[in-house]
Amino acid sequence: MSHELFEAARDAMARCHAPYSKFPVGAAIRGDDGRIHAGANIEIASYPEGWCAETTAIGHMIMAGGSRILEVAVIAEKMVACTPCGGCRQRLAEFADADVKVHLCDMQGVVKTVTIGELLPYAFESAALK
Ligand code: THU
């Protein structure tokens, strides 16, 4: 994984709004045009309505005109190798092929690399709606 992707996730984490969980998370996506899109978790007082770092990053990619995810990095300050939640696995799978790598990091760099397919086997996919 490029150091740039790791740094983007780590720097995004510093911009989290997580006053309730105090569990900062950052995510970075490399899109199919090579650009990197990052995001952090954003919590609100109505707890279930907050959202994850991966979701913020996906929103940034789509708004920047990107369409496919080629690589992902996730970092959480208080956890080594934080994995995306179930909802984010489904959101990532919408824009990423099953073999796309998801790098799970700590503050130094990548700890473990998994694929979207490993995170979400038997995914419900858009083909079902055609
Ligand atoms: N969170 C993420 O942003 N991404 C993950 O992969 C796991 C969990 C956030 C959601 C919430 O703001 C906080 O971590 C605690 O659950």
CATH number for the domain including 121? Answer: 3.40.140.10
Closest ligand 1 atom to residue 55 Cα is 3
The per-residue pLDDT for 43 is 98
pTM beyond 0.85: the answer is yes
Alpha helices per DSSP H over the chain: 3-13, 53-63, 86-95, 116-119
The residues lining ligand 1, judged by C-beta closer than 6 Å to any ligand atom, are 18, 21, 23, 25, 41, 43, 50, 52-54, 74, 82, 84-85, 88
Q: Considering only CA atoms, which residue is closest to atom 10 of ligand 1? A: 52
Closest ligand 1 atom to residue 40 Cα is 3
Q: How does pLDDT run along the chain (130 residues), one tens digit per residue?
A: 679 999 999 999 999 999 999 999 999 999 998 999 999 999 999 999 999 999 999 999 999 999 999 999 999 999 999 999 999 999 999 999 999 999 999 999 999 999 999 999 999 988 899 9
d(CA 13, CA 98): 25
Q: Is 7 a catalytic residue?
A: no
- Please count the structural domains in the chain: 1
Give me ligand 1 centre to Cα 18, in Å.
9
Closest ligand 1 atom to residue 18 Cα is 12
The per-residue pLDDT for 65 is 96
Residue 90: give the domain boundaries. 2-129
Please pick, among 4, 43, 49, 54, the residue that the annotation labels catalytic.
Answer: 54
The per-residue pLDDT for 26 is 98
Q: What is the pLDDT of residues 45-68, one digit of tens each?
A: 999 999 999 999 999 999 999 999
Give me ligand 1 centre to Cα 77, in Å.
11
